[in-house]
Structure formats: C-alpha cells, structure tokens
C-alpha cells in the first residue's frame, strides 16, 4: 500500500468538506467494503465526498500524488472496481439526494443514489425510469453501462432515458453533458461506462408506472427442465411489450412464503413476468405459460412497483461472495435449453443461478448508433452465469462452474461481446468485441479528449486513441 504521510493527508483534508478515511480510522473496513464479499482491497485513503467539490479535489490530489483512482457509487460491481489497492477511493455513497418534477416527468439524482432511492422518490408521483432488478444497485454504474430491468421492453435502457449529466473530468473541471452541451461526451456516457469522468448528477426521463403492478412466478423442477425452458421461450415470444420478463435458469426454490414447504430447496427453472398492462392481459399471459407446461408451483400477485424492484434482493444479498460471466443468445432453442438444464444440475451452491433477460421492444427501437451501449440492439436474451456463495471457501468451485457453464453455452452465443456491466474480467479484446470496431474507435476518440491520461481505467477500459 502507498503510504501517505501526515502532511499529505492534512492537505487532502483541508481541500475536502467530506471525511478522509485511512486505515487508522475505525470506519476504514466498513468504508472499503463493497457488495461482493470476495473483494478485499485496501486503499491508501478514502474520500467520502460531501459534494462535487470534494470529487474535484480528490481527483486533483490523486493525480498530484500519482495515486490510482477508483470511484464508488453503489459499490455493486461484481469485479469490485469501486476499490483500489493502495490508491485513492472516491466514495459517492453519501450523495443520494433525488429531486422529482412530476410536471415535466423528470428526476435528478446524485451520483451515489441507489435504485431504492430513485424508485422511492419517483413512485411517490406514480412515475419511474427503467432501472435494475436489485434495489441496492447503484444508479451510476448501471446507467453508465447501459442498464436494463423490468421496464426495458416498454421504455428502453436506463441510458436511453438519461437526459443530461453533470460530470467532473479527469482534470477536476466541471461540465454539463446533454444533447446540446458536450454532445460527444453525452453520447459516450450512455453505455461507455465510467471511462470519461465522475458523474455527480443524472437527469432522467420518467414514465407513468404503477403504483401497483402484477407479477407471476412459475417454477418447474429440473427433471422437466428442458421442456420448461422451451415452454418459457414460447411464452416470451407472445408477450406484449408492456411486460418485463426474466428466466431464472438453475434456480433453487427459495424458502419464501409463496413457495410450498415441500418444494423449498428444489432445483429447477423459473419464469418471472412483470405486467404493466391490464390485470386481464397479465392473467391471460400467465395462464398461457401455465398451459404450455404445468408448473410445479406458481405464484401470482399484484404488488407495489417498489416491491417488485426489491423482489430479487434476497438472491444477491450484501456481502455475498460472487463471480460472473455472461453472453448474449438470440433465443433459447431446444439444444440451448438442454445445455442450460445440464449445467444447472452441476452447480453446488443453492445461491448460484443463470438469469436470462429478454431484450426487445423499446430496447430494439433505439438506433444502435444513438448511444454508446456495447451490445446488439437486435432482439435477444442476455444470459449471466452467477456464482454466489455465502463463504469464501465455496467460491472457487462455483467460479469454476460459472466458467464451465459459460463455455458450454458459447456455441449458442450471438458472437458479439457481452454487456459491459457483466464483464468481470474485462480484457482489452473483450471490451473491443462488446462495442464493435466502429463504436470503440469513436469512444476512444472521446476518451482522448476528456481523459487522455486514462485516469479512469478501473472499468471495462476504453483506451484513449
């Protein structure tokens, strides 16, 4: 670890309104902890920012002292990019304010806000923007990589709904990025990740949602797994674009009230459908899914949108030891279904599973060149292989399972690189494949303007051209 002497630390504290935390501080271990419990890195100092001024001061200090800089928003990244070893960790977690203007259907939130923060504020007015599926995910990281969730088929990516951003650049300068101001930077922020600066404020377009939505959960046991995945695919093909859908492949039935006691801990596959249309439309959709192949058990309920946004929280609790790989597939045909079913049976941790989100509808309406999103806009599934364990000792085996399952599914992949927010081991070649040659070249040119020294490199990195 880089050792900062007292004089340097005092200089940093004088510049910052927020708290500067070092390893001598009682808050140090909690401040450096992130969602993934497998990440154990020790920054030389942590700046818990009280505002954009602290962000600017910390960036300038890191450059002066030649310290590697990491940026923590929600701290939910699988790879733990929020934490640097021996460098300066810039912590935005105290910056979580959200302001909503229901008249213009806009929300402005700070860079450390989580989806729970944003959803709570917007749902007070019956509004929402497409966000993640785990409520303690940070708004910043999800948005900058693209961002998808239950509303994506109806309203596009999170990045598609970003209207403007306030950014602190690598030199400590403040800029406002929008279609009119710094349009090249604004384009790059919508999918190019945290490569271009620290976003301290996001302005989102909102849509009427809820306050009540309908959710169906259908579960089939592993013994009928291949048929179940085929039935799920048939159901997904007929969904209205107002519905969000997730196939949870290799899910261990959780010990929750809606799961019959005799089926808790059973291995299988689940289809989750979130309905934003009428109750009748949603009921008909769920019934079609059940008729295609009768589930082992099913659950259907109307619930507040904010509860839907926390529905999967228990599947990814804070402190879990985690690893992830991902790829895109056009669809889950018979051979792919058989492969997924086979791989599901090989996991050893009940927490691990393979979520598959269907991306089409409004997602595919957006022109590919309109944003920097790294992935195809053609209708497809994005499939993740999530290794999750409660203890560090169990993670190596699950990591091996995740890699093996990913390898087995490669013949069914679209050939394009995977969604950048799912890239834990984001080497240069994989990042280039994700964006494609033309888009990567454009991103590299923007990077050369706004971060020529590659200060912001702890991410799926785009190197300045």
pLDDT in tens, 188-237: 999 999 999 999 999 999 999 988 999 999 999 999 999 999 999 989 98
CB 170 within 8 A of CB 456: yes
Query: Domain check: are 237 and 280 in the same one?
Result: yes
User: How far from chain centre, in Å, is Cα 418?
Assistant: 13
Integer CA distances (angstroms), 215 to 229, 231, 237, 298, in order: 19, 18, 18, 11
434, part of any domain: no
172, 254: one domain: no
Other CB atoms closer than 10 Å to residue 27's CB: what's the count?
A: 12
In the DSSP assignment, the letter for residue 130 is -
Instruction: Pick left, alpha or beta for residue 210 (phi over 0 → left; psi -120 to 50 → alpha; otherwise beta).
Output: left
Residues 343 and 375 in one domain: yes
Claim to verify: residue 303 and residue 271 sit in the same structural domain: yes
Within a 10 A sphere around the Cβ of 29, how many other Cβ atoms? 12
DSSP structure string for 371-413: S--SS--SSEEEEEEEEEESSGGGHHHHHHHHHHHHHHHGGGB
Q: What angle do CA 133, 138, 144 make, to 5 degrees?
A: 95
- My answer on whether 353 and 383 are in the same domain is yes
How does strand 267-275 pair with strand 212-221? Answer: antiparallel
Q: CATH number for the domain including 199?
A: 3.30.465.10
Name, in order, each residue with C-beta under 8 angstroms of 162's C-beta and a sequence gap of 6 or more.
143, 189, 190, 202, 203, 204, 205
- At residue 153, φ and ψ (nearest 5 deg) are -65, -30
Q: How far apart are CA 334 and CA 199, in angstroms?
A: 43
Same domain, yes or no, for 198 and 228?
no
Residue 286: both structure tokens together: 């769920």
pLDDT at position 426 is 66
pLDDT in tens, 117-165: 999 999 999 999 999 999 999 999 999 999 999 999 999 999 999 999 9
For residue 171, what are the domain limits?
98-208+440-450
Indicate the residue among 60, 91, 122 that finishes a domain. 91
CA angle 251, 274, 151 (to 5 degrees): 110
Between the CA of residue 317 and those of 80, 336, 401, 465, what are the distances in Å?
15, 29, 20, 39
Contact, 18 vs 48, CB < 8 A? yes
The CA distance from 110 to 283, in Å, is 38
Contacts of residue 153, Cβ cutoff 8 Å, sequence gap at least 6: 239, 241, 242, 243, 244, 245, 358, 359, 360, 361, 362, 363
Instruction: For residue 290, give the CATH number of its domain.
Output: 3.40.462.20
Domain count across the chain = 3
Q: Tell me: do 80 and 229 sit in the same domain.
A: no
- Residue whose entry in the numeric block shows the structure tokens 């080497």: 427
225, 341 contact by CB (below 8 A)? yes
Assigned token pair, 16: 């910052």
Shared domain check, 284 and 337: yes
Query: Cα(90)–Cα(383) distance, rounded to whole angstroms?
Result: 31
d(CA 18, CA 429): 38
Q: What is the pLDDT along the chain (465 residues), one digit of tens a residue?
A: 555 556 778 888 999 999 999 999 999 999 999 999 999 999 999 999 999 999 999 999 999 999 999 999 999 999 999 999 999 999 999 999 999 999 999 999 999 999 999 999 999 999 999 999 999 999 999 999 999 999 999 999 999 999 999 999 999 999 999 999 999 999 999 999 999 999 999 999 999 998 899 999 999 999 999 999 999 998 998 899 999 999 999 999 999 899 999 999 999 999 999 999 888 888 888 888 888 889 999 999 999 999 999 999 999 999 999 999 999 999 999 999 999 999 999 999 999 999 999 999 999 999 999 999 988 899 999 999 999 999 999 999 999 999 999 999 999 998 756 788 887 776 778 888 889 999 999 999 999 999 999 999 999 999 998
| Same domain membership, residue 287 and residue 164 | no
DSSP string, 411-429: GGB-SSPPPGGG-SS--HH
Nearest-CA neighbor of 294 among 231, 204, 363? Answer: 231
Q: Is residue 429 part of a domain?
A: no
In a domain, residue 415? The reply is yes
């Amino acid at each position: 670890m880089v050792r900062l002497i007292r004089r340097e630390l005092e200089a940093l504290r004088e510049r910052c309104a927020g708290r500067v935390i070092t390893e001598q501080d009682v808050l140090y271990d909690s401040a450096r902890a992130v969602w993934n419990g497998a990440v154990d890195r020790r920054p030389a100092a942590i700046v818990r920012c009280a505002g954009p001024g602290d962000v600017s001061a910390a960036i300038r200090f890191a450059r002066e002292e030649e310290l590697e800089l990491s940026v923590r928003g929600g701290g939910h990244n699988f790879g733990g990019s929020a934490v640097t070893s021996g460098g300066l960790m810039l912590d935005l977690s105290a910056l979580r304010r959200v302001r909503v203007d229901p008249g213009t259907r806009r929300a402005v939130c700070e860079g450390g806000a989580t989806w729970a923060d944003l959803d709570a504020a917007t749902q007070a007015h019956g509004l929402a923007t497409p966000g993640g599926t785990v409520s303690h995910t940070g708004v910043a990281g999800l948005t900058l990589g693209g961002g998808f969730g239950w509303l994506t088929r109806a309203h596009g990516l999170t990045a598609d709904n970003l209207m403007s951003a306030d950014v602190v650049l690598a030199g400590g300068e403040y800029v406002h990025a929008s279609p009119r101001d710094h349009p090249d930077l604004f384009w790059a922020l919508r999918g190019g990740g945290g490569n271009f600066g620290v976003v301290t404020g996001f302005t989102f377009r909102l849509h009427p949602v809820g306050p009540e939505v309908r959710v169906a959960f259908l579960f089939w046991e592993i013994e009928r797994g291949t048929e179940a995945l085929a039935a799920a695919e048939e159901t997904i093909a007929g969904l209205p674009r107002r519905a969000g859908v997730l196939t949870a492949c290799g899910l261990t039935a959780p010990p929750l009230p809606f799961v019959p006691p005799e089926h808790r801990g059973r291995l299988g596959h689940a289809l989750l459908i979130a309905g934003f249309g009428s109750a009748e439309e949603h009921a008909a959709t769920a019934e079609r899914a059940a008729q295609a192949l009768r589930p082992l058990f099913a659950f259907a309920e109307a619930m507040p949108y904010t509860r839907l946004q926390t529905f999967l929280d228990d599947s990814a609790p804070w402190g879990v030891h985690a690893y992830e790989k991902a790829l895109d597939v056009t669809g889950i045909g018979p051979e792919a279904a058989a492969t997924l079913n086979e791989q599901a049976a090989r996991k050893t941790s009940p927490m691990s599973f393979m979520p598959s989100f269907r991306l089409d509808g409004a997602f595919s309406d957006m022109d590919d060149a309109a944003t920097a999103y790294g992935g195809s806009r053609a209708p497809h599934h994005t499939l993740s292989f999530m290794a999750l364990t409660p203890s560090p000792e169990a993670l190596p085996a699950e990591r091996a399972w995740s890699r093996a399952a990913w390898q087995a599914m490669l013949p069914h992949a679209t050939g394009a690189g995977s969604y950048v927010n799912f890239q834990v081991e984001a080497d240069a070649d994989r990042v280039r494949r994700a964006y494609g040659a033309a888009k990567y070249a454009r991103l590299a040119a923007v990077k050369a303007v706004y971060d020529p020294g590659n200060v912001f490199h702890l991410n799926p990195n785009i190197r300045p051209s």
